[in-house]
Chain A
């Protein structure tokens, strides 16, 4: 679109023709107030706040529905306009309860802000306000009707944005009210009583986020605190592989910092406006009273709280003894999908260089080794999360992003809705995204190989997909090994991504939590890392083999960091009887309960570092919450290595390496790793080398950049500024391992589960109960 020039409040501004006036003004730094306007949603022109005076237009015009044109002359803040806005506010406030002192939105309410701006302080009305009782729509969504200003953002967000259509408008005129749409199957069951209103939806809470006032409030946050009593920390959600930025509101409590809520007020993330149920509410595991806050050592068969010194000493020395007595091949290490890249890198380095074994693995939720192998030699072949939103065409093979990668689903829907992206879906199930698809190919269960073969054929689906020039191919975790390679080979020019499950599944694979590949999927025998590590050249035991070895009495010790393989892989607890088991976890999981030593560790919301989402987008995680008595996994690995008798400086290149300069143990910057980002930005800006403590994850970032192919491209300033950056996975000499299908075990989480954490999130439990009630009601109605 060509640019047009218009005059706004005497200023010449330029915008592409067809731009909405309200957006053109925003770009020029002129804010036009609006309640109902929300970028990306359909236009309403209902609130009449954005009225402006346009020359040659007889009435005041709404800036949200007017497109700019050449020579347009606009006034946005004349006395006439201010009066119009003030009068509208007076009308709204006439029925508003004005319970701002207790309202959740108090302090971050658009109605408050506008009233403050336009000074609608006088009231003319003697009559009582219209009132309705507050309603609980679901465990996470409450509705306070009197506060509602009927901007319909929630209705559109739910319908257009989420494709759920759980909300509608009841009645008309001044009786109009937002209400859950009752599914037709339930209509007969529900009484007309308003307290029956229930939301049958994805419980994403997007309606609450879009609400400009305090009408929709969060079931987990309401009436808990005031916005100004919290610090707001933008970090990355731990739950799925999409990598949404979530802003955690934290408040100091006696034993640390409690996370009060999560939202997406920081819209700089790749998720923009979006957060799903888990990203918004499922931080509550961090506040669980079940959290471990003291190290445990098994004494007389019972796990007993002991001091950190005792626990670390015992674990380190025993591990060393066993390694020395029974050899490094008898020790196993299992890492996590939810720990940072730095922690994952450090863990495998500890296993390979300190213990001297390749017996390291993690719970793999997608075949990233196969993925990297299939992409070997290709440049710019991977899609970023942001690519999904701008792709002209998307092919989705397998997977169900609506359940497992909600942001990917949101971006696909947004792309189809806003950019007319052509979506092709091939799946063995009728996944919800079929509704947005231009074409759907039914795949037989376990029949993806045959489907890929059919893509060479002449069927309409195949020809349409092949005709796409700029294609993004999203691949579900059903596809592994040969299938994966075959599919990627069909589209040599496409950008591809492989969808996995948790915040750092991709990072765990990239960082080399694999028995047969070094960081960056480099070969064990000969590569830059191998040369530096001096690790064994033979592949170690994978996760399944470790438990087999344990059952055979050949696993002397197992070190499990942030993982619950006993449940996930259905391990018979008896197999670990003769194995010395060290577990680092937040909770006494089914694995931890079998351990000889348990270290209470912090979670992703309580530490700094970086994670890589399933697209390969690297992001910073920042420390938000804090819990007295826990340590980060990074610190624990370093301390264990120290007690193990390893030279910590070999493990973490902290401090200055020049002779005569003492290592900086954190004195120069405070011990809080969470402050690393700000401090390091300052140091970098001043051309100074950050001095790092051995417990600071950034101490190892240099080494990751130096040794892990793909990560060499990362820009530290981008990372520390909180921006996401897309990294291509390693290319070049990649290991080829046959038949790794067994090792990939997708967790297939739904919107309301998150692996082992599910059990520790009261919110997820509540929502599941709500969900099962809805289903039961529906069955009863049938």
Chain B
């Protein structure tokens, strides 16, 4: 039950993009076409889930033991970046097809605030290892949900011929705001 609440909370109530406002850059950047957005979603799910696991280990087994937990930001950036790079190299070697689908998105999100955010939140909320991984996975699902909905909206808006002053980024930001408002409706669903 607790795990279900964590998942619901991260996907709907405290959606990373629409409620916590993390990961806005890819949210606006790769939301023009659905195939690109789906590729990004795959990469985000992978990176956020694995980053949660790796950073939990680094924090609890290395930094805490040495009493330097306050250095988590630097250490996390270091670890996440090299971990993603490592996975990128391994993927290219062992699964070229997966690399072709996700490869170009991986470097884009290594130092993304959503990835760092989920790692830091895991520590702040004092989650255990399993909970941290589930939270990371759910947070990335939430990100994917927001990105896919938003891409669908933008593809429609592109063809709807908005007034000249609204075209492009302006209408995209307005839409993102309204989508965020809609997600505020989930507030208090899960504490």
Partners in one complex: no
Binding site for B on A (CB under 8 A): none
